[in-house]
């Protein structure tokens, strides 16, 4: 095991560190982090409007009218139905921030380019009225929004570095100088994007959106949100944590676009009164990460019940409060779990087992599938299971997960606990011997 840890520290840790600092991945991750509060607020409103209780629904209808739920869902629809627009701006903004370039110009340019690539729908032939197509400005357009924003921003910054700009005389305000400096690079990028749109109109796909969705997004999403993809997701998080890399936000930031459309489909199904079609969503993992990466709330519970050494019981008591809110650094570094050959075995094993059990339970219909509603990651277990599934079975599943996790952690806890007790007895004996000598 020490050889394995040595390999991970020597090979995997530098690679993971470089990946975490990769500018394009950082830009995508930063964009979603910036937009996450609005997603959560929209999801809270959806929970309010779609809470699965007949008495509650009847009370709200009597108090606020029959259309109350449709009114409450307006902000939710405004967020989710136009998500690609915001993400296109934010990805470019974050990338320009890392390139130390004009953030607003890059953000606006990326948004304009996204709209150029997005064909508007004509709803009145005679009047010539056109509207923005909801199909591609929501979650289905996220791949074009993200990939395009990265490309257009890099090209824009490169053109500016090549001095293809309009130089203003000294004394002109900086804001005006930046505006004129962006003219030629923005024009060239927009001409290129328009050419891409015209080119795709002469293909069977008709739009770049359809091409990306069919050729790239759908296959990648299918693999990434499969059972095997779920196993790889949790394993990649725990194996990076094994060498001390806080990998949750990094991995989630990369995979979140794959989950997003599944969640949107599930939400649409809930609104239509049908069963959500997708098992693997971000909320599926929210039900797994109880206490944080490695489902360490199970570890804390097992330590509180079975540990006998002072050190382990003290770590469990100190980490219990934070673990309830899915913060596990006190346990990971206090026990420790990180770089501990014994504890890293269950730390990586437990999430794989829980994913398997939970996936099978949802597949056979024993547990309700997640609805796609977003929750804060600090929401305590059991409560979070009920909210993300809209059903009591979600809470029961989390309780079962906690029990399974505690049972898997227990044999390894006993080994470490025995080591701690032996060390504590040796220290006590040494202290007693010293006291007798005095």
Give the pLDDT score at 237.
87
User: How far from 350 is each of 169, 248, 354, CA to CA, in Å?
Assistant: 65, 16, 6
Q: How many CB atoms lie within 10 A of CB 321?
A: 11
Tracing tokens 């979603």 back to the chain, one arrives at 32
Give the pLDDT score at 131.
62
For residue 121, what are the β-bridge partners?
A: 131
Tracing tokens 């890059």 back to the chain, one arrives at 106
Give the pLDDT score at 170.
67
Q: Which residues of 12-26 are buried (b: 16+ CB within 10 A; e: fewer)?
A: eeeebeebbeeebeb
Give the pLDDT score at 258.
78
Give the pLDDT score at 126.
58
Q: Cβ distance 299 to 409 under 8 Å?
A: yes
Burial, 220: exposed, middle or buried (Cβ in 10 Å; 0-12, 13-18, 19+)? middle
Q: Which residues of 136-171 are buried (b: 16+ CB within 10 A; e: fewer)?
A: bbbbbbbbbbbbbbbbbbbbbbebbeeeebeeeeee
Give me the tens of pLDDT residue by residue for the chain, a chain 438 residues long.
455 555 555 655 566 566 667 888 888 888 887 888 888 788 778 778 877 667 888 888 888 888 888 888 888 888 888 888 999 999 999 999 998 888 999 999 999 999 999 887 666 555 556 666 667 888 788 888 989 999 999 999 999 888 887 776 666 677 777 777 888 899 999 999 999 999 998 988 888 988 887 887 777 777 777 899 899 889 988 887 886 666 676 677 677 777 888 888 888 888 777 888 999 998 999 999 999 889 999 999 999 999 888 888 888 888 888 888 888 888 888 888 887 788 888 999 999 999 999 999 999 999 999 988 888 878 889 999 998 998 899 999 999 999 999 999 999 999 888 888 888 888 877 767 676 666
The rounded radius of gyration (Å) of the Cα atoms in the chain is 26
For residue 122, what are the β-bridge partners?
A: 130
Hey, where are the domains in the chain? 2-222, 240-437
Give the whole-angstrom CA distance, residue 252 versus residue 243: 18
């Amino acid at each position: 095991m020490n050889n394995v840890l040595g390999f991970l520290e020597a090979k995997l840790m530098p690679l993971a560190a470089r990946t975490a600092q990769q500018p394009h991945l950082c830009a995508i991750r930063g964009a979603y982090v910036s937009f996450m509060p609005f997603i959560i607020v929209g999801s809270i409103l959806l929970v309010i409007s779609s809470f699965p209780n007949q008495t509650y629904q009847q009370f709200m209808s009597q108090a606020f009218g029959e259309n109350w739920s449709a009114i409450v869902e307006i902000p939710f629809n405004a967020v989710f139905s136009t998500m690609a627009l915001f993400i296109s701006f934010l990805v470019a903004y974050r990338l320009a921030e890392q390139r130390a370039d004009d953030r607003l110009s890059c953000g606006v340019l990326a948004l304009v380019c996204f709209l150029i690539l997005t064909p508007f729908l004509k709803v009145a032939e005679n009047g010539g009225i056109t509207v923005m197509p909801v199909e591609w400005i929501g979650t289905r357009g996220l791949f074009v929004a993200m990939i395009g924003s990265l490309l257009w921003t890099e090209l824009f910054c490169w053109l500016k570095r090549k001095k293809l700009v309009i130089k203003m005389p000294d004394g002109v305000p900086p804001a005006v100088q930046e505006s004129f400096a962006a003219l030629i690079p923005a024009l060239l990028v927009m001409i290129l994007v328009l050419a891409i749109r015209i080119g795709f109109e002469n293909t069977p796909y008709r739009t770049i959106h359809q091409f990306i969705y069919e050729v790239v997004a759908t296959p990648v999403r299918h693999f990434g949100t499969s059972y095997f993809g779920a196993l790889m997701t949790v394993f990649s998080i725990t194996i990076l944590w094994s060498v001390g890399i806080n990998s949750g936000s990094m991995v989630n930031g990369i995979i979140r676009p794959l989950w997003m459309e599944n969640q949107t489909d599930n939400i649409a199904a809930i609104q239509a009164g049908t069963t959500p079609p997708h098992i693997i969503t971000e909320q599926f993992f929210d039900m797994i990460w109880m206490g944080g990466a490695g489902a360490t709330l199970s570890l804390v519970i097992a330590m509180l019940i079975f540990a006998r050494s002072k050190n382990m019981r003290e770590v469990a008591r100190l980490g219990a409060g934070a673990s309830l809110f899915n913060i596990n650094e006190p346990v990971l570094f206090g026990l420790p779990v990180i770089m501990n050959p014994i504890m890293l075995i269950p730390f990586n094993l437990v999430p794989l087992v829980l994913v398997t059990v939970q996936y099978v339970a949802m597949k056979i219909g024993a547990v309700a599938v997640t609805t796609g509603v977003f929750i804060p990651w600090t929401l305590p277990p059991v409560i979070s299971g009920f909210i993300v599934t809209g059903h009591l079975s979600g809470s029961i599943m989390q309780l079962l997960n906690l029990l399974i996790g505690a049972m898997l952690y227990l044999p390894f806890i006993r080994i470490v606990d025995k080591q701690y007790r032996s060390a504590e007895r040796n220290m006590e004996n040494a202290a007693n011997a010293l006291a007798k000598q005095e």
